[in-house]
Structure 1
Amino acid sequence: MPSLRDTTAEAPAPVRAVSNALAQWIGQLGAIWVEGQVTQFTRRPGLGTVFLTLRDPVAEVSVQVTCARTLFDSLNPPLVEGASIVIRARPSFYAGNGSLSLAASDVRMVGLGELLARLERRRQLLAAEGLFDPSLKRRLPFLPGCVGLVTAPGSAAERDVVDSARRRWPAVRIEAAYAAMQGQRSALEVIEAVERLDRDPSVDVIVVARGGGSVEDLLPFSDEGLIRAVHRVRTPVVSAIGHEPDSPLLDLVADVRASTPTDAAKRVVPDVAEEQQLLATARERLRDGLTRWIAREQQGLDALRSRPVLADPRTLVAERSAEVVDLRGRARRCLGHALDRAADNLDHQRARVRALSPLATLERGYAVLQDDAGHVVTSVAGVSAGAAVSVRVADGRVHATTTGTEADPPKEAVQ
C-alpha cells in the first residue's frame, strides 16, 4: 500500500488505513498529564471501567476518559460532577468508530477540587470522632428570652436576623457578638464570640450568621478549631452560613442548620401572630370540649333525676311499706295456721291419751278390784271368802268384804 503522503484522487487511501495510521501516531505520544473539569461520568453495572467526560475550563472542548473502577472508587473524597482534576492518561484512538479517548492511570484533585477534597477528609475525621453524632443535637428553646448573634457588624445577615426575629416576636432581645466573618482571623474571632455568648447565662440560643459567598470565603466555618469549640459549648447553636447550596462543616456540628439568616430567625423565634392564633384555636377547642362535657354530664344528671326513685323518694318507701305490711300479714296468717294445726294435733293426742286412760274405762262402768295389799285381783283364785277388798271406780274407792267367789266355766264348756 502506498504511503498516505502519496495518495491522489485516482489512488485514495482507505478509511481503515487512515484510522490505523492515526491510532499508531497517537499511541506514540505516551502518558501525558491533562487538566480539566468533570462534566459527566457513567458507571455501568458489571463493567470494570468508568467513563468520564473531561471538559476544558475555558474553551468548548471535551474529551472522553476511561478510568478503572478500582481507581475511581479509591478517590477520597468521591469524584463528583463539576470537580476540577488532573489526570495522567495515555491517549488512544479507536479505529472502529474513529473516537479519541484518554485512559487514565492517576487522578488528582486540583484547585477547588483539591480544597473540597481536604474539607471532605476533615469531615470524615471529625465524624469518626463523633462530633456530628445526631444524638448530641440539642433542642432549641420554644421562646428564648435572649438570642446571641455572631455576625459581622452592620452586615446584611445581622439585619435579616434582627428584623425577622423582632417582626415575629417584638419582645425578643438580641445580644450581638461581632466577629470577622471572612479572612484569616475570622475563625478565631468567631470562636471567641461563641464562647463569650456561651458564658452569658441570659443567652438561650446562639446564631452564627453570614451571607452567601464562594467556597474560599466560607472556609473559616469549616475550621477544625471552630468545629470543636461549637461542640464544647452548652448553649444550642444555629448555623446560618451562606445560602441553601452552601454546607460548611459548621452546619454538621451545630444543633440546627438554617438555610439563610432569615430562616435562622424563623427557627429560633416563634411567630407571635401564629402563636396567638394557635392559642385562640386551643382555647376554642378547650371551650367546646368543656361545653360538650358539661352538657353530657347534665344529661346524665337529668336522666338520674327523672327516675321515679329520685323524682319522688317516698315512692320507694311506700312500696317497701306495703311489702312490709303484706309480709307481716302473711307471717301472722302462717303463724295462725301453724298454731291451729298444733292445737288440733294436741286435741287429737289428748283424745287418744284419754281413750287409753284407765279412768276413761272406769267412767264407762268398769271397776278395778284390789286386795288388802293393793294388788289388782284378776282371778277368783286370788280372793277368798271374807277377804277385805277395795273396788276402784271412776270417782273413788269402795271398801268391801267378799262373801264368796264363783268361777266362770271353762271356755271349752261354754262353746
Structure 2
Amino acid sequence: MAVSILKVSQLNRYVRSQLESDRRLSELYVAGEIGSMTVNQRSGHLYFTLKDSDASVRAVMFASRSEHLRFLPKPGLAVVARGAATLYERDGAFQMTVSELMLDGAGALGLAFEQLKEKLAAQGLFSEDRKRPIPQNPRTIGIVTSPSGAALHDIVSVAQRRNPSVLLLLAPAAVQGREASASVAAAIRLLNQDGRSEVILVGRGGGSAEDLWAFNEEETVRAVASSGIPVISAVGHETDVSLCDYAADLRAATPTAAAELAIPDRTVLLQSLELRSELLRERMNRLLGEKQRKLSSLQQMPALHDPAFFLNKNRQRLDYLIESMYNLSRGEIPRRSEQLGHRAALLESLSPLGILSRGYAIAEREGRPIFSADELSQGEELCLHLHRGTAAVRVERVDLSHGEEKHDL
C-alpha cells in the first residue's frame, strides 16, 4: 500500500476544509470568559482567547464586526461568542472566527449602557451648554417613530386636542431590531435636510430593555446630538432612561408628554390673545381720553373763540414794546453820544499828533524816541518827526545843564 506524504500546508488546508464543511461547527455559540486580548492597531481586528475552568480557545473578530459591538470587550468579561470553528493555516492553530459577541449573564445591557455613556459624556455630547430652548409656538413639528406604533397615535391625539393647526411631519423609522439605530438616525437627518420642522420628537412607546436598545446605540445618540433642530427625546415610560435622553435638548417621560411640551394649547393661546387685546383696548381708551381732555382744554382758549381779540391783545403789547424802545432810544442815544464826544476829545489831547501840531518835534534814533540829552553823542544822526514830515539832523553839541538854555543842533 502506497503511503501518501503530505506537506504541512496541505495538512493544514485539509483539516481546515474538514472543519468548515462540518455544519455543526459553522454556526456555534460558545460561552466563556475573555482571557488575553489584543487589538491590531493597523487593521482593527480583535484577537482574544475564550476560556473556562478547563480549557481555552483562540478567537478572532474582524474589524468589520467588532466596530458594531455595544460594549468594550476586556479580559474577565463573561461573553457568548457566535461564529465558526476554523484553522489558521499558517500556524496550524485551531481558532474560532467570531461574527457576534454578546455579554453573558445579568447586567450585560447595563454594562454596555454605562460604557457608552461614559465615552460619549467625555466627548461632550451630554453637556448642558449644548442644550437649546424648545420653541414656544412651533408651526411645524417633526416626528421620528414607527408609523404603526402607539407613540404616533398618542402624539397625533394630543395635537388634535391642543392645536389642530400645527403641522406634523412624520419621518418613519424602525424603532426595534438590528436596523433600528440606523433607521432612527437617518430619519433625524432627513428632517434636518427638509428644514421645515422647528422641533423634532424622537421616541417610541414602552418595552423591554432590549426593545428600547436602539435609543442607546451610538449612531442614534450622535444623530440626536448633531441635529440642527432642537430635539425632544421620549423613549418608553417615565422610568425608562435612554442615552438619547441625555443627548436631546429636552427629555419627556413619554411620547404623550413630549407632544404636550412641544404643541402649544390653542385654548391657552386664545386666552392669552384675548387678554392682550383687552389690555391694548384699555391702553388705547386711556390714551384717547387723555387726548380728548387736552383737546377740550385747547378749545376753551380765547384765541380759538375770538381770534380778533387775541390779535388786538398782541397788537397792544407790540405797541407798548415799540413805545418803550422809542423812549429808551430818545434819552439814551444823546447821552451816549455826549460820552463818546468827551472820550474822543480826551484821546485827541493825548495824541502825539496833537502835540506836534503845536510846534513840537519828536527826536528818534533807529525808530526809538529820545527822552534825555544824556542819550545823545556828538556827531550822531537823528530823525525829527514834525507836524508835517520828518527831517534828518546831526548832533553838534550836547548840553546836560538844566534851565532854558538852547541846544545847538
TM-score, normalised on structure 2? Answer: 0.49
TM-score, normalised on structure 1? Answer: 0.48
